[in-house]
């Protein structure tokens, strides 16, 4: 158990590890059903007091359930995917096969991301080599330990290797890149650019997720409705709180459409209560000094910028609500700092988006407007349009890209001789 995560391996050890994983993938085919069985058991094992402090564990448990993953496999890999069968496609038949070994470079800001990325590779039948950022080693170890406990036959654990090394170890990043057949890269701009530039083999398939930012929006009917407003505010708070608002799917700005006759301050009063309640349930236990300083700066900059701007915040950096007008997304502060902007027309605000926006979280009463906003968002680079409260629900496609499909090869078989169709 001590070598669950190998720290600072040498380049040749990485090459040997990948060879071992590849050999295993070639020698032993694993049916999707058996993968799903182990993941289901892993999900159950994660219901552990030791893991309750880990942000995202409830979500990870849900993600690993058969009921979540089966529809994803069916949609991405087609009928027959659950049995590992070929499926007919005109004169041909199709079947997904693993790429081989997939290298995973998860971001450092989401505690469960190494596991999410890993499962995407496993579901395609691949061997997986995961490079875990230093700050996530302990959390990943705890979560992986549960897999080791349930996967007694070793069906999955023999396909997994987890390594950790400093981000500056270019030689080790290169050793991974040279030997893997596919890569799933997650993270900030600098990291993504650096990893994408590594010397991958020409056949390697690379899927990149991030960096992005996300936005919430509500029409007048939703935010002015006193009966439903409390629930909407709770959902927004939940989306803001998860991952300390540092995820690509975290809302940074909330657009409120004018036109209800209701004062925005009335809405903000409910939002403030929701923030206070969420903060009470999920208080911060640590913060980078840089982040605390940035939060103070965002409060001051907002209020000094215009005497019309308003804000609500406690003495601590726990949360911040900035209220103003305008359709441009301000530079995100993160750290539970939500900018609420009043606009005349949500469609006009969404029409200003570009590919930087990943998710649009909506609280909209008018279904036609919901559809129109999704249409507009899709045209302007947004990859996910979801209900408020579900902005972080990890699902396929993510960032407009399938999660399992990019790491499999869809093999097409056209038989050399026609078979007789059985009469029925």
Q: Cα separations (Å) of 119 from 16, 32, 54, 127, 128?
A: 22, 12, 18, 10, 9
- Rounded CA gap, 231 and 251, in Å? 17
Residues 294-313 that bind another protein (CB under 8 A): 296-297, 299-301, 303-307, 309-313
- Rounded CA gap, 133 and 409, in Å? 28
The reply to whether 187 sits near another protein by the rule CB under 8 A is yes
The reply to whether 206 sits near another protein by the rule CB under 8 A is no
Binding span for another protein by CB under 8 A among 32-40, 254-262, 292-300, 416-424 = 292-300
- Rounded CA gap, 216 and 353, in Å? 12
Residue number with CB closer to another protein (43 or 119): 119
* Per-residue binder mask for another protein (CB under 8 A), 90-119, x = binder: -----------------xxxx--x------
Among 287, 342, 372, 393, the residue binding another protein under the rule CB under 8 A is 287
**242 near 113, Cβ under 8 Å?**
no
Residue number with CB closer to another protein (293 or 351): 293
- Rounded CA gap, 341 and 264, in Å? 10
The reply to whether 248 sits near another protein by the rule CB under 8 A is yes
The structure tokens 């080693």 sit at 137
Q: Report the nearest approach of another protein to the CB of residue 153 (Å).
A: 34
Q: Report the nearest approach of another protein to the CB of residue 62 (Å).
A: 20
Among 12, 27, 189, 419, the residue binding another protein under the rule CB under 8 A is 189
How many residues are listed for the chain in this entry?
424
The reply to whether 9 sits near another protein by the rule CB under 8 A is no
Sheet with 408-413: strands ordered across: 87-89, 92-98, 408-413
The reply to whether 277 sits near another protein by the rule CB under 8 A is no
Q: Cα separations (Å) of 355 from 34, 64, 211, 305, 401?
A: 38, 29, 10, 27, 14
Among 56, 84, 327, 332, the residue binding another protein under the rule CB under 8 A is 332
Binding span for another protein by CB under 8 A among 43-51, 170-178, 183-191, 262-270 = 183-191
Residue number with CB closer to another protein (146 or 392): 392
* Per-residue binder mask for another protein (CB under 8 A), 118-147, x = binder: ---------------x-x------------
Sheet with 160-164: strands ordered across: 5-7, 160-164, 127-131, 101-105, 182-186, 205-209
Residue 90 CB partners (closer than 8 Å, separation 6+): none
**198 near 399, Cβ under 8 Å?**
no
Q: Of the candidates 320, 324, 328, which has an alpha carbon nearest to the alpha carbon of residue 350?
A: 328
- Give kind and range of the element (H or E) at residue 148: helix 137-150
Residue number with CB closer to another protein (127 or 324): 324
Residues 380-409 that bind another protein (CB under 8 A): 381
The reply to whether 418 sits near another protein by the rule CB under 8 A is no
Binding site for another protein (CB under 8 A): 107-110, 113, 133, 135, 186-191, 209-214, 243, 245-250, 284-293, 296-297, 299-301, 303-307, 309-317, 332, 334, 354-356, 381
């Amino acid at each position: 158990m001590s070598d669950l995560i190998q720290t600072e391996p040498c380049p040749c050890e990485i090459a040997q590890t990948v060879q071992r994983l590849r050999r295993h993938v070639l020698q032993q085919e694993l049916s999707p059903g058996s993968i799903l069985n182990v993941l289901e058991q892993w999900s159950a094992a994660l219901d552990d007091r030791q893991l309750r402090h880990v942000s995202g564990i409830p979500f990870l448990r849900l993600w690993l359930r058969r009921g979540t993953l089966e529809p994803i496999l069916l949609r991405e890999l087609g009928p027959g995917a659950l049995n590992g069968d070929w499926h007919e496609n005109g004169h041909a038949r199709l079947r997904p096969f693993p790429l081989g070994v997939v290298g995973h470079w998860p971001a450092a800001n989401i505690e469960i991301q190494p596991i999410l990325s890993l499962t995407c590779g496993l579901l395609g039948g691949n061997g997986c080599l995961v490079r875990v950022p230093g700050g996530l080693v302990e959390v990943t170890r705890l979560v992986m330990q549960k897999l080791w406990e349930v996967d007694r036959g070793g069906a999955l654990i023999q396909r997994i290797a987890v390594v950790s090394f400093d981000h500056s170890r270019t030689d080790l990043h290169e050793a991974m890149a040279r030997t893997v057949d596919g890569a799933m890269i997650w993270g900030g701009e600098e990291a993504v650019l650096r990893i994408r530039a590594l010397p991958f083999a020409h056949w390697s398939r690379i899927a990149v997720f991030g960096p992005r930012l996300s936005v919430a929006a509500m029409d007048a009917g939703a935010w002015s409705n006193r009966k439903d407003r409390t629930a909407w505010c709770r959902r927004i708070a939940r989306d803001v709180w998860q991952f300390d608002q540092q995820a690509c799917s975290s809302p940074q700005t909330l657009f409120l459409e004018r036109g209800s006759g209701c004062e925005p301050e009335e809405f903000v009063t409910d939002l403030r209560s929701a923030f206070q309640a969420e903060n009470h349930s999920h208080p911060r236990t640590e913060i980078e000094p840089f982040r605390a300083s940035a939060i103070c700066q965002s409060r001051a900059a907002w209020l000094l910028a215009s005497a019309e701007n308003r804000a609500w915040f406690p003495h601590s950096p726990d949360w911040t609500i900035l209220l103003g007008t305008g359709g441009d997304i301000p530079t995100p502060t993160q750290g539970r700092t939500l900018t609420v902007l009043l606009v005349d027309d949500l469609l006009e605000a969404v029409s200003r988006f570009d590919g930087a926006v990943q998710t649009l979280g909506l609280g909209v009463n008018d279904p036609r407007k919901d559809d129109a906003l999704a249409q507009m968002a899709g045209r302007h680079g947004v990859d996910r349009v979801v209900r408020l409260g579900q902005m972080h629900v990890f699902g396929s496609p993510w960032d407009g890209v399938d999660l399992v499909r990019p790491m499999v090869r869809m093999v097409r078989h056209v038989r050399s001789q026609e078979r007789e169709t059985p009469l029925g």
